[in-house]
Amino acid sequence: MAKKRPQTKAKRPQLDDAEVPVVGAREPCPCGSGRRYKACHGRSAAQATTALVQRPFEGLPGECDWVALRELVPAATVGLTLRDGLPEGVPSVTLATVLPMAWPALRRDDGSVLLGLQNDTASGDISRDLADTLAQALTAPPGTPVQGRRAPADGPRLQDLLASEGAFEPEVHAGFEFWVPDPDNATPEVTASLERANAAAIPTVRLRSVDAAYWCETPDKNHLRWVMPHEEERLLDALARLHAAGRSSLGEGTRLVGSFRAHGLTVPVWDLPSEVTAQDIEKPAAEFAERLAEALAADSPLTHDERRARGGLTNRQVTLS
């Protein structure tokens, strides 16, 4: 029988985790363990990059509207304020739901920056990936799009680059004409992309009476999608109380049909008759907000009927992200 080779213990790491530099996956780990980087400190670095951040926009002004623009609104823009001010040669930074050819960002000829929100991101932290794209766009040559990439695991997030205070007021557009300030000089590719995007856009309006609520029109019926900041379990309890009491609608012919989950927040959805416009729903939405505040303040156990209503709402949840 062949002799067994004596087992040797790997060398103990000689560096703290924070001091270990990044090397090739198959190279020896710089910590001194004797293992390859991918099986040692490279594993934790990869996990840090791919770990899903449940609420990537938490802490930003208008978190609920960030979620809406990411998942629900076809065409919208909003000006962004940088924490350290605008760099020289960059007159403005604007967040946009979508950019031509799904570019992650664009540095326009005049130096202004457009940052696309609805693009696929390379890691589990949308905020870090968007911050990396924004940082690239701020230094890109004018007149060029910026491609996305996997952001460094220790790179800044949007919360580090954007001002922590101030209004976040999206402007919803009927189409994507904001892409091309000078349509006569747009390239054929951009023009074709604009036509496709406009054909697919669903008419959408942001309500003024409440925060982060968006009316939209579809061929068969209209909808109200309302991104809410409340903790999910507490919100579902409150909605169940109202639903069981027959107080969850927004008027005749409307009904609460379920909710979305998106980026750590809950988005209740109402079906509306096709003749109900955004203006028609402003007052009912404001009145519902008052009823919801009362229901959120209640702390008594749910009744049998309320538990049944809650179960129905839970069964009709759809996770978007």
pTM: 0.84
Q: What is the pLDDT of residue 88?
A: 96
**Which of 69-73, 120-124, 280-284 is predicted least confidently?**
120-124
Is the predicted pLDDT of residue 212 greater than 70, yes or no? yes
Element (H, E) at 200: helix 188-200
Angle between helices 304-315 and 232-244 (to 10 degrees): 120
Give the CA angle between residues 119, 210, 260 to the nearest 5°.
45
Q: What is the pLDDT of residue 34?
A: 79
Is the predicted pLDDT of residue 280 greater than 90, yes or no? yes
Q: What is the pLDDT of residue 35?
A: 80
Q: What is the pLDDT of residue 26?
A: 66
Q: What is the pLDDT of residue 309?
A: 97
Question: What does DSSP assign to residue 95?
Answer: E
Q: Are 216 and 204 in contact (CB under 8 A)?
A: yes
pLDDT in tens, 138-184: 999 999 999 888 888 889 999 999 999 988 999 999 999 999 888 77
